[in-house]
Amino acid sequence: MAKDRIVSATEQVEDAPASGTETPRSMRPTHLDGFTGQAALRQRLRIALDAASQRNEPMEHLLLHGPPGLGKTTLAHVVANEMESRVFVTSGPALTRGSDLVGTLTRMQPGDILFIDEIHRLPVSVEEYIYPAMEDFKIDFTLDSGMHAKVVTYQLKPFTLIGATTRAGLLTSALRSRFGISHRLDYYEVEELESILERAMGQMELSAITPDARVRIAERSRGTPRICLRLLRRVRDFAQVRNAGRIDAAAVTDALELEGVDELGLDALDRAYLRTIQKIYKGGPVGLEAIAATMGEDSGTLEDLVEPYLLQIGHLARTRQGRQLTEAATAWLDGQS
């Protein structure tokens, strides 16, 4: 499936925590000083954390939005560690009823963190419980219905809500306005990804890796740490079996060629998308539905998983008439043929 592509920023099974000493989760930084990239956000968080600590109060509610794989979940755990508090993790789709939220909030102690991933998918009925909890640290829960209905008010301990979303535009204005800090995470530069690789290599005890190999992995990671670490694991396995454990530029190229990832970080689906527009539709403009029908893919998959990176590297333009290849994309495709 498209979501299981090696260059997909969506979390996959191999990215989740597992048993053993070397897990993807263990490669994540635990404190703000160890977090790479997102310099503006780190400064804002440092000020907010220090101010909250001096006042002995929870930090303001925080909304993190941006593409997947850039560190929103990691930052939630970093904030919890900085505040020396616990973090309760859930997601919008998992909170189907108000009682689900009440159960979590009433267990929390002062200063604890509630992290809600995919917060844009909260049901309206649950979102209404969030408002008084965020503003007044209380929650009203209705028991029974009709003439026997009774409203019970729970007084909550002061906490910090951290919401994460890849679709900030789908949040209601009422919910968005209740976050004291809102920040969009940006794609990472190659140099920042190299720093992340260095840290990961130390934890994976990888010493036989050349600097140019590190650069090549970073360049093909689509500006996303999650993809970067995933590619590193694949290259490590390839080098162990085919290159006596040494990770050099040639090993990176061969390993990722085997995975279908080229020097731009594009995979077979990306290239098929570009070639469809070039060969079938003469470079565009063409509608997304027409491209999807020609490729036999779902239009939502192309829009969410393929187009963002092509737009980022300047190979695709969205016009009123439809999708169109840029001159850079045309020149690159001509060079590939």
Catalytic machinery residues: 72-73, 117, 166, 226
Report how far residue 162's alpha carbon sits from residue 159's, in angstroms, rounded to the nearest whole number. 10
**Residue 245: which residues within 8 A CB-CB, separation 6 or more?**
208, 239
Q: Is the separation of the CB atoms in 228 and 221 below 8 Å?
A: yes
d(CA 234, CA 64): 29
Measure CA of the first residue to CA of the last residue in the chain; give whole Å. Answer: 27
Helical residues (DSSP H) of 95-208, grouped into ranges: 98-105, 124-136, 173-176, 190-204
Q: CB atoms < 10 A from the CB of 271, how many?
A: 16
φ/ψ of 302, rounded to 5, equals -65, -40
Cα distance between residue 154 and residue 106, in whole Å: 8
